[in-house]
Amino acid sequence: MSSKTELMRRGLCGLSFVALLAGCTTLSTNARKPVRSDETTPEAALAYYHGLARMTPAELGRERSILVAVPQTPYTQLRMAMLLGHPRVQQDLARGLTLLDSVLKSSDPAAAPFQPLARQVADNYLERLKLESQLERQGQQLKDSQRKAGELQDKLDSLADIERTLTPRPRSGKPEGSRR
């Protein structure tokens, strides 16, 4: 897979994820208020996701270390899952899905407000994994086709070499129809 294709795929995945998350926010205009950093609401989780885009790779690494060290609440698990699927870090969508699944299956009342957002993020990750699988499969098919084309070209070249080395048939002086 070329790096250009990989960059385009990651860009499209990130853009679709942001659009998906933006669609999850259904706040009325009069209910909008700045999200405080100590809030643990779905809106705060969305603000956190948007904040990830402004972080440098070093800050993203520090954020990961912080999230591992703090107690694993549904809010923390959702934030960690968002970080694990962020395009500017080493992605681990499978682990992110595990965290999201934990939030979705939790009977803890604190998890309930995060479950719709966790479902959307999980659906996005599943779609991204499916697309990655298709890309890998298509890449493998392309490699197989190129290999087969190379093998066929080698066979054609071998046949052409054999044809060139054959001695020409002697032509008889008699026409075909005059044999006795």
> What is the tens place of the pLDDT at every residue in 37-58?
567 889 999 999 999 999 998 9
Say yes or no to pLDDT of 73 above 70: yes
Q: How far is CA 63 from CA 36, 49, 52, 54, 68, in A?
A: 17, 12, 9, 12, 9
Mean pLDDT of 74-86: 94
Which pLDDT band holds residue 65 (cuts at 50, 70, 90)?
very high
Residues 105 and 119: beta-carbon distance below 8 Å:
no
pLDDT at position 5 is 61
- Report, as an integer, the average pLDDT of 113-142: 95
pLDDT at res. 30: 39
Query: What is the tens place of the pLDDT at every residue in 3-22?
Result: 556 655 665 555 455 455 55
Distance CA 68, CA 51 (A): 18
Q: What angle do CA 171, 174, 178 make, to 5 degrees?
A: 140
Q: What is the mean pLDDT of residues 150-169?
A: 90
Q: How far apart are CA 144 and CA 99, in angstroms?
A: 37
Question: Domain map of the chain by residue range?
Answer: 3-26+33-133
